[in-house]
Amino acid sequence: MKLTQLGMVGYGEVGKIITAGLQSHLQSAHVWDLKFANPISVSTANTAPTEIQHATQAGFIACDGMKALCTASNFIISAVTASQTLAVAEEVARYINKGSVFLDLNSASPATKQAASKVIEDAGGHYIEAGVMTSIGPYGIRVPMLLGGAIATDLAPQLLGFGMDVKVVSPDIGVASAIKMSRSVMIKGLEALVIESYTTARQYGVEDHVLPTLAETFPSIDWQQTGAYFFRRVVQHGKRRAEEMRESANTVKEAGFEPIMTSAIAKKHDWVAGLAREGVFDGLEKKPKWQDYADRLIAHSKYKPD
C-alpha cells in the first residue's frame, strides 16, 4: 500500500514533531486530539481553540473526532500517553478504512501492543508497533524506531523514504516493545536515581564530594550536564514518563517477575510531575542547573533530616 493520507492521533510534543516531519511527503495530514474537544485540557493550560489554531497554521487539518480522521486517512499514527494505547486502538478500529496502516508509537507493554494489534487487524487494518528508542526532540522524524508486525518489512522502505530511521526487528508484535520497555526501566531508572541521589547530596551539602566520585567511576559521563538534563526531562514530562514506567512494570510482570524497582521509578516520576503541576518549578530559567531543581525539591519536601 502507498501511504498518502496521514492521520495523527495525539497532538502533543511527539504528534506535532512527527506530523511536521512527514507533511511534505504525503498528500494530506489530519490530526485529532482530545484537547480539541475540551474547552481546557486537563493536562495543559492550552485551550482547544489554541491547539486547533496551531494545527491549522502548521498546514494540518484539525478533525472534529476520530471518525473524521480515520475516514480521511490511510496511514494512522497513534502518539498518545501510554495508558491510552489500547483505548485509542479500540476507537480507531471502529472507523478505520480496510487496508489502512496503523503505526503505534506508544510506550506500552508487549501484551498491550498485542491487544491493540488484534482489534486493528480484526477491523481490517494493518497494525505495526514501533519502539521509539530515545527522546524525539533532538531527532525529529529521524528518531530511531524499532518496528514489529506482519507487514513491517514491506512498510519500512516507505518510512525510510519519508526520512524516518526505522529498523524491523520481528514480524511478531511485542518484540519491539519488549526491547523498548526493558531499556526504559534502565533510562527512566537512572533519571529517578539521579534526582534522588543529587537532591539528597544537595540537602546534606556534599554534592561536591559525590559527583567527582561518579566521574571517577564513569568518566565518559558529564554528571553535571546529565543531571540537569535528567531533572529537566522529568519535570517537563514526568506524567508521561510515569505512565510509561507503569507499562514497563506490566512488561516485567508479563515476564514473570515482580516489578519492585520499576514501580518505584514510576512513583518517583509521578511525584516530580505532581510538584511540577503545583508550580514548584515555576520561574526557573530556560535551562536551569540541576542544583536549581534540587533546591526547589528541598524547599518543598515534607521530609527533613533531624
Condensed to tens digits (0 to 9), the pLDDT of residues 44-87 reads 444 678 899 999 999 999 999 999 999 999 999 999 999 999 99
The SS3 of residue 102 is strand
Q: Is the dihedral of CA 134, 138, 144, 147 positive or negative?
A: positive
Give me the mean pLDDT over the 24-35 stretch.
95
Nearest to 249 by CA among 260, 240, 234: 260
- How are strands ordered across the β-sheet holding 126-132? 61-62, 28-32, 5-9, 75-78, 101-104, 126-132, 144-148, 165-170
> What b/e string do you get for 182-204 counting C-beta neighbours within 10 Å, with b at 16 or more?
eebbebbbebbebbeebbbbbbe
What count of other Cβ atoms lies within 10 Å of the Cβ of residue 46?
A: 16
**In the prediction, which pLDDT does 49 show?**
83
Q: Phi/psi of residue 222, each to 5°?
A: -85, 100
Comparison of pLDDT for 170 and 38, the residue scoring more: 170
Per-residue pLDDT tens digits for 246-301: 999 999 999 999 999 999 999 999 999 999 999 999 999 888 999 999 999 999 88
Per-residue pLDDT tens digits for 115-174: 999 999 999 999 999 999 998 988 999 999 999 999 999 999 999 999 999 999 999 999
**In the prediction, which pLDDT does 43 show?**
45
- Angle of helix 290-300 relative to helix 260-278, nearest 10 degrees, comes to 90
**In the prediction, which pLDDT does 135 show?**
87
Per-residue pLDDT tens digits for 229-246: 999 999 999 999 999 999
> Left (φ > 0), alpha (ψ -120 to 50) or beta: where does 163 sit?
left
**In the prediction, which pLDDT does 301 show?**
82
Instruction: Say if residue 41's pLDDT is above 60.
Output: no
Q: Phi/psi of residue 258, each to 5°?
A: -80, 125
Q: Phi/psi of residue 5, each to 5°?
A: -120, 115
CA gap 187, 18 in Å, rounded? 23
Instruction: Say if residue 42's pLDDT is above 70.
Output: no
Q: Are 55 and 11 in contact (CB under 8 A)?
A: yes
What count of other Cβ atoms lies within 10 Å of the Cβ of residue 25?
A: 17
Give me the mean pLDDT over the 194-203 stretch.
98
**In the prediction, which pLDDT does 214 show?**
97
Q: Which residues contact 65 (CB under 8 A, 6 or more apart)?
A: 32, 37
3-state DSSP percent of the chain in helix, strand and coil, to 5: 55, 15, 30
Nearest to 265 by CA among 281, 249, 286, 289: 249
Q: Are 109 and 247 in contact (CB under 8 A)?
A: yes
**In the prediction, which pLDDT does 38 show?**
64
**In the prediction, which pLDDT does 304 show?**
52
Q: How confident is the model at residue 303 (pLDDT cuts 50, 70, 90)?
A: low
